Structure 1
């Protein structure tokens, strides 16, 4: 009982102490006349400091949000500036690559003219992304067993023979973009390709060696680029954010030719619409590429 009274007494003493007002007076030193005075308690002093701190933080936040000073803070860089920096970085990378190719070309020409270059020693220019036609993807034991059983079962099945085979021997198709297939090849609805959902500005790669035969903007499909390949293949890449090649440029398999985007009326999000044609007819890309 005594402890409860003591606790209650301490509580009253605390509130009395912080609410007790102190008088601050200012006197004239010569006449000792009171010039100005005011009363202030600990509670009111804390409240005044709190209001002042809140006001100071609010004014600082307002200045940062409403004035260009935010561009000098980490994380507040303008989106347009970031886009320009990315494009400049891509241009610088392409320029550096072209300078290396030109330097290699000039060294080869000098070697040929001076006769110092041995026969058949000229290196292929821009061969970093060259596809090796003799490259075979290694198979696991389970896959080897499945292929062997399938070949045995289909050895005498004449129904599987294709009278018009597409020549793909020795050709390795590069995956045009990283992502998942969101829409498949369906001729019934005139969807002659696959949609690959990918991250914005992801690199779009040429699936084979070839020559760019078309670059342009379509209202429905956005930025479009088409590459003509050997053996009658044509690959089409739609809804791109930015095209990195121009008509007439030669590209190698696996080389970046565009950036994934969301352009065109028929686009529903960042993705790549990829089509593969053979001698004027569309073919299912999933039959040639492992997405």
Structure 2
């Protein structure tokens, strides 16, 4: 036993001695046989030098890809940027179209006034956002004035009338979470708080809004589930996934792939995505916000 242990120690020492043993590399003038230049190196120094060189090469290549337009050719990188640009261009086009309609209506009214075909007082509004005084055309009678006064007094402290749409969706664009057809609709009375979207297996599941992954895990009934917390109190839930691509705490952008469509969980009968949308702890119908 002592001999074997001594032998192993000797082998270790010989190994370290062998890789640390330095060799001399010399450059000799062929005509004069004079040593022009020489340096010493070992196997360990060669390995370290090659490792540093490989790491530097990888870091330099990654820096070039990140800092230059080459990154646009990476698979999956351009998808999110393209989607954002498409949405922004669509909003710009819609705004420009609306402004053109307003300008055309304005010019039409001016032309009609100049030509005498339209009376000045007949023009009510150009932009649909403008408001007309309620008593502009029909004066209110005494009974109507009394009714309006009583109604305004009763609703004076009713804050609900100040906001006809309690959901803060202004400026929000909800991405369709997956390409497919709805196989089961939102039915709160039977506790089906979402929509089932039949899709191809391993189809990319996209984040409907910018947000943070608040849960990503497996449930025996729901399969692989991922939940995202969005601004303004919205939470989106994606169930029965084949694979989850994000972990809790990660930030995601709208349209980014977060999972793959699957058929996991006891309640799943085929490849599909069960998608839910919640607001302030209460389920809402996703079809009210997304065109599937």
TM-score, normalised via structure 2 length: 0.49
TM-score, normalised via structure 1 length: 0.49
